[in-house]
């Protein structure tokens, strides 16, 4: 079974010859932009040959607001990014270049953020939260405008650049930020505008419920978000893959490893990493499961550790759930 078939089957709860494996990390410094970033992606894929590629949006975290925002009312001045906006075009150039060099050898996904994250990246977390308290309607308008651009980016990654889907990152669900009702009122509409648009162009989109802050999220904010598979911070949320799979309606799940430096993947011996991989396989079966991490790995991880996981998954081999 080739990698494309293996991953597609895993994303759609179909049998696989072996559980697919995928890990990723940020490309930092001079490797975060331009040709150096494309080359860094390919060095990693050529080195590890993971089962699927997650193309990183490094260098694009500073979201480019289309109008200055000082007061809450200024969110009404935002205009949607069109397909020729440099912020979108530069990302598409990277995505297309990486996919051309991959040559279709595996499925690929581009990292697309939810509008609330883009807004915070562009205006700062404190300002966004202050404006939300002052004038929630203005902020929600701004989110809807940003969502148009993010939705277009997701669409073009698939239709123009050869991605098989997007890895859609939702944030802002921390228990100390919003109640469940507040999140669903203020943030969910823009989350879904992007995700549902992406789903019109791909049946393979992966939902990432990000634990970036190290604070437990209200995972119930996202249980009904439509996607092919789901990835979340198992260690931070205290939500196992099996329990999470049930809460997300039986969808395929991606993850299992702690991405932090203290996790077994980063600090364990080869024997410990292999033993943990076998535990994940035994607990989660071979159908509807992709081995990965809670989030991005440290950029300086020795990629040999990733190969340990891949080798163990391959040795586990084909067959029905054990």
The predicted-structure confidence for 169-183, as pLDDT tens digits, reads as follows 999 999 999 999 999
User: What is the number of H-type helices and E-type strands within the chain?
Assistant: 13, 7
The DSSP code for 62 is S
Between 320 and 4, residue with greater pLDDT: 4
Query: What element of type H or E holds 114?
Result: none
| pLDDT, tens digit (0-9, with 9 covering 90-100), for 58-68 | 999 999 999 99
Q: Which structure tokens are listed for 134?
A: 């002052």
- Residues 248-267: b if buried by 16+ CB within 10 A, e if exposed: beebbbbbbbbbbeebbbbe
pLDDT for position 317 = 78
Domains in the chain: ranges and CATH: 23-260 (3.20.20.210)
Tell me which DSSP letter residue 179 carries.
-
Do residues 174 and 236 make contact, with C-beta atoms less than 8 angstroms apart?
no
pLDDT tens per residue across span 104-145: 999 999 999 999 999 999 999 999 999 999 999 999 999 999
For the CA atoms of the chain, what is the radius of gyration? 19
Residues forming a β-bridge with 255: 291
Instruction: State the number of CA atoms in the 13 A half-sphere of 244 facing the CB.
Output: 28
pLDDT exceeds cutoff 90 at 151: yes
Neighbours of 159 (CB within 10 A): 11
H-run or E-run covering 220: none
Q: Please, which pLDDT band fits residue 320 given cuts at 50, 70 and 90?
A: very low
- pTM across the whole model: 0.97
Measured between alpha carbons, how far is 21 from 206 in angstroms, rounded to an integer? 14
**pLDDT level of residue 321 (50, 70, 90 thresholds):** very low
Which element (helix H / strand E) includes 168?
Answer: strand 165-170
């Amino acid at each position: 079974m080739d990698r494309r078939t293996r991953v597609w089957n895993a994303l759609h709860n179909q049998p696989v010859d072996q559980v697919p494996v995928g890990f990723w990390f940020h490309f930092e410094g001079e490797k975060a932009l331009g040709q150096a970033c494309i080359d860094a992606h390919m060095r990693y894929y050529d080195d590890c040959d993971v089962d699927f590629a997650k193309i990183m949006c490094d260098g694009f975290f500073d979201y480019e607001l289309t109008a200055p925002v000082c007061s809450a009312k200024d969110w009404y001045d935002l205009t949607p990014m069109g397909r020729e906006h440099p912020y979108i075009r530069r990302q598409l150039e990277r995505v297309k270049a990486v996919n051309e060099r991959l040559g279709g050898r595996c499925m690929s996904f581009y990292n697309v953020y939810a509008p609330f994250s883009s807004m915070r990246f562009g205006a700062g977390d404190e300002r966004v939260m202050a404006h939300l308290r002052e004038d929630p309607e203005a902020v929600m308008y701004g989110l809807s405008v940003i969502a148009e651009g993010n939705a277009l980016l997701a669409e073009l990654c698939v239709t123009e650049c050869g991605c098989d889907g997007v890895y859609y990152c939702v944030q802002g669900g921390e228990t100390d930020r919003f109640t469940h009702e507040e999140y669903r009122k203020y943030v969910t509409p823009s989350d879904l505008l992007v995700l549902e648009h992406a789903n019109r162009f791909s049946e393979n989109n992966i939902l990432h419920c990000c634990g970036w802050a190290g604070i437990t999220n209200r995972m119930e904010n996202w249980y009904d978000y439509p996607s092919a598979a789901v990835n979340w911070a198992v260690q931070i949320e205290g939500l196992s893959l099996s329990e999470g799979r049930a809460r997300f309606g039986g969808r395929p799940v991606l993850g299992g490893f702690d991405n932090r430096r203290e996790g077994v993947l980063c600090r364990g011996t080869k024997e410990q990493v292999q033993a943990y991989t076998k535990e994940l396989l035994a607990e989660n079966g071979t159908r509807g499961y992709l081995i990965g991490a809670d989030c991005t790995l440290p950029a300086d991880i020795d990629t040999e550790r990733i190969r340990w996981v891949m080798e163990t998954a391959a040795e586990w081999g084909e067959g029905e759930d054990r």
